[in-house]
Structure 1
Amino acid sequence: MRVCGCEISGKEVRLAAVGLTDQGDLELLRLKTTRIELVDDTSEADLRSFLADLQAFSREHEIDTFVIKTRAKKGRMAGGAVSFKIETLIQLVEDCQTRFVSPVALAHFAKKDLDAYPEKLPVYLKNAFLSGAYALTKKGFLT
């Protein structure tokens, strides 16, 4: 099973595909595409293009589930309107499930359950990787 951890930031989604090895260890899949940007959120063509890019990504890399790090809906740390459009487009990807994980759960997971980050993990993919790793290791999360 492969999942794709997602962190939405500004006008882009950061993608980290995570799988399990035959030994049951977490594995970050080294992919060419690690971000997809929504150029103009008011353009129907750009929205459709963004969704098509997500569809192609999920098919090409055999992604079963997208796992999104949630953002606050109000308050000082709230996500912007564009980020919620991106979230919706991720949920519309055909033949893929979408799950959400809170930043608090990710922080606890990183401290208590994660042995180490993969070598050469780019800093901007840390939270996306954590989302995917959390989904694969927490029993019952993907059911």
Structure 2
Amino acid sequence: MVVCGCEISAKEVRLAVVHLNDEGIIEMLRLKTTRIELDDDTSEIDLRSFLAALQEFSRENEIDTFVIKTRAKKGRMAGGAISFKIETLIQLVEGCHTRFVSPVALAHFAKKEVEEYPEKLPVYLKNAFLAGAYVLTRG
């Protein structure tokens, strides 16, 4: 199974594609595309373009499941309206399932079960990697 961990931040989604190798170890694929940005969330053309970019990304990388790190819906740390549009567009990618994982679950998983991160993992992809690894190990 190939899983794409997603962290939505402002107007972009950060993407980390992971799978289990033959030894059952989580590997992150090194990809050119690690972010997709939504330029104008009020433009139908931009929304369709963003969805098309996600479709293409999922096809190229044979993604089975997208895993999204959830954001608060209200309160001081709430995600913005644009981030929820991005979340919806991810859920609309044909041929892929979408799952969600909470920040608390990711923090616990990182502390208790992640022994090491992939070499040269960019800081901005850490949560996306954790989301994908979480689903791979938890099923």
TM-score when normalising by structure 2: 0.99
CA distance in structure 2 between the aligned counterparts of 1:31 and 1:3, rounded to whole angstroms: 14
Partner amino acid for 1:54? L
Deviation of 1:75 after TM superposition, in Å, equals: 0.2
Identical counterparts, % of pairs: 82
Paired residues in the alignment total 139
Deviation of 1:115 after TM superposition, in Å, equals: 1.0
Listed as ranges, the matches of 1:94-105 within 5 Å are 94-105=94-105
Give the structure 2 partner of residue 122 of structure 1. 122
TM-score when normalising by structure 1: 0.97
Q: Deviations over 1:90-112 (max 9, x none)?
A: 00000000000000000000000
Q: Which SS does the other structure have where 1:55 is aligned?
A: helix
Gaps of 5+ in 2: none
Give the structure 2 partner of residue 89 of structure 1. 89
Deviation of 1:113 after TM superposition, in Å, equals: 0.7
CA distance in structure 1 between the aligned counterparts of 2:115 and 2:26, rounded to whole angstroms: 10
CA distance in structure 1 between the aligned counterparts of 2:133 and 2:30, rounded to whole angstroms: 15
CA distance in structure 2 between the aligned counterparts of 1:102 and 1:81, rounded to whole angstroms: 18
CA distance in structure 2 between the aligned counterparts of 1:34 and 1:75, rounded to whole angstroms: 29
Give the structure 2 partner of residue 133 of structure 1. 133
CA RMSD of aligned residues (A): 0.4
Give the structure 1 partner of residue 56 of structure 2. 56
Q: Deviations over 1:66-105 (max 9, x none)?
A: 0000000000000000000000000000000000000000
Q: Which runs of 4+ in 1 moved over 6 A?
A: none
